[in-house]
Amino acid sequence: MVNVRKRGKVFQYQFEIAPVDGVRKYINKSGFKTKAEAEKAGIIAYNEYTQTGHNFTPNTMSYSDYLDYWLKEHCQINLKYHTIQAYSNIIKNHIKPRLGFYRLSQITTATLQEFLNNLYVEKAFSKNFMKNILKVLKTSFAYATDVVGFVKENPAIKVKIPRYDVPEEDPAHIFSKEEIQMILERFENNHAFYYAILTAYYTGLRVSEVFGLTWNDIDLENKTLTVNKNILKKNQNGATHGRHISGKATTVWYFGTCKTQGSYRTIEIGDTLVNSLKEYKAEQEKDKEEYGDLYMKHYMKETKNYYNNKPEIKILNAYTELNIGLPEANLVFVKHNGVFEGTDTCKYPFKVIHYELGINCRFHDFRDTHATRLIENGADIKAVSQRLGHSTIQTTYNIYVRVTNKMETETVNRFEEYTNSLDLPKTEDKPYLT
């Protein structure tokens, strides 16, 4: 409640705030010429205090406005860049057009269930994508209830994705030796991509981890490879889809943190990959000499994240030496002239693999193949989990359950083969069973 009173020739507003150590506290301000001016200013100040800086009233705000608030106040600060991008796309393309006009306080479990059902019928999205949409609904409302208290209950908790009677096919493509051979032979002269897929196949690294490697991460003498960062592309200056109105690309590459704490790891690598990387490094040195000043160099500059002010490393490109004390990045997978394209390197080659070689796959399938072949050939599941950088061994089980189930069946069959050699009594020899 705002109180206004006259102090001498001017007016003052005052309202009570939360007590500190049991002592009552007030906010007040004077100097207003009229009572109306003081009252108006007092109401504005009181609303700002009660809403802790929010410029909205929670019980009247739209779900669209709330999602913007949630993205800014929670997601931008706490989540990974690519996760934020995925959430933003789901919100923009699917949630806001159908639910954005509802008041936050009006949305019920029935509202959300109908929303998902309609998406299922109209769009025929995959089960995994529907799960991602539901995750955004649940986590956004969890923040609204448990953290900021804008609504009393989470209406998304009991929402279910529609039943998928036909199980979805595993999107992973597990390469045969013949397919790997075909791909390597096709891209033997494609400098960066050839050695990148070779590394992915022999290590099981994620695509962002592969292209985030620098030469100091690879110990060719001790045959180890360390994962301590990944590569990510960000839009600059708030540009939409990485482009300004002028049409010029504004994306910049950064070194980011690993996906989970378990993703930070050092793994052993075999002679095949070691020898190939030694060969590649020697080729790269020859390229530097051949191109001279036209060879692209890369430098690391420490910056601050725009949203959460956390430190991050921006990659700068230059054809000449930068005399500003910045360390070189020494990126592993670059073109013959040193140009770094990051994960964009994969765009064209995978079209070739699909249309020319007839293999429909993703870069991630090299990781899946690495893990699958290890498990199939008896590797310890815990060791595989650590090698892949999974947060828990359960994650490995969940992803590669198809492999472990196959191995269980094979194990049973092996025992059956063994027991078949036993001369067991036949049913007809057991009258009590007939």
Q: For residues 289-302, b (16+ Cβ closer than 10 Å) or e, as one string?
A: eeeeeebebbbbee
Query: Cα torsion for 48, 306, 264, 362, to the nearest 10°?
Result: 110
The pLDDT assigned to 414 comes to 66
Do 296 and 340 meet the contact criterion of CB atoms below 8 Å apart? yes
Q: The domain 177-365 is classified under which CATH number: 1.10.443, 2.30.30, 1.10.3470, 2.160.10?
A: 1.10.443
> CATH 1.10.150.130: which residues of the chain?
63-147
- DSSP symbols for 388-432: HT-SSHHHHHHHTHHHHHHHHHHHHHHHHHHHTTS-PPPGGG-GG
The pLDDT assigned to 287 comes to 94
Separation CA 62–CA 75 (nearest Å): 19
The pLDDT assigned to 58 comes to 64
Separation CA 389–CA 205 (nearest Å): 8
Walking along the chain (434 residues) 10 residues at a time, the average pLDDT comes out as 87 81 80 89 77 60 92 89 90 94 92 93 87 96 91 93 67 90 87 92 96 97 96 66 44 88 94 95 94 92 79 84 80 94 90 93 94 89 94 86 69 67 60 52
Separation CA 378–CA 381 (nearest Å): 8
Q: Smallest Cα–Cα separation from 125: which of 168, 91, 85, 157?
A: 168
309 in the Ramachandran plot: left (φ > 0), alpha (ψ -120 to 50) or beta?
left
> Residue 332 carries which DSSP code?
S
Residue 54 φ then ψ, to 5°: -75, 140
The 3-class SS string of 6-61 reads EECCEEEEEEEEEEECCEEEEEEEEEECCHHHHHHHHHHHHHHHHCCCCCCCCCCC
> Residue 150 carries which DSSP code?
S
The pLDDT assigned to 167 comes to 54
The pLDDT assigned to 253 comes to 93
The pLDDT assigned to 237 comes to 52
> CATH for 63-147?
1.10.150.130
The pLDDT assigned to 277 comes to 95
Q: Which amino acid is at 123?
A: K
Separation CA 38–CA 4 (nearest Å): 7
The pLDDT assigned to 403 comes to 72
The first and second tokens of residue 20, run together, are 């500190």
Question: 64 burial class (0-12, 13-18, 19+ CB within 10 angstroms)?
Answer: middle
The first and second tokens of residue 178, run together, are 């013949």
The pLDDT assigned to 193 comes to 92
Q: Smallest Cα–Cα separation from 283: which of 242, 349, 323, 338?
A: 338
The count of other CB atoms within 10 Å of the CB of residue 143 is 18
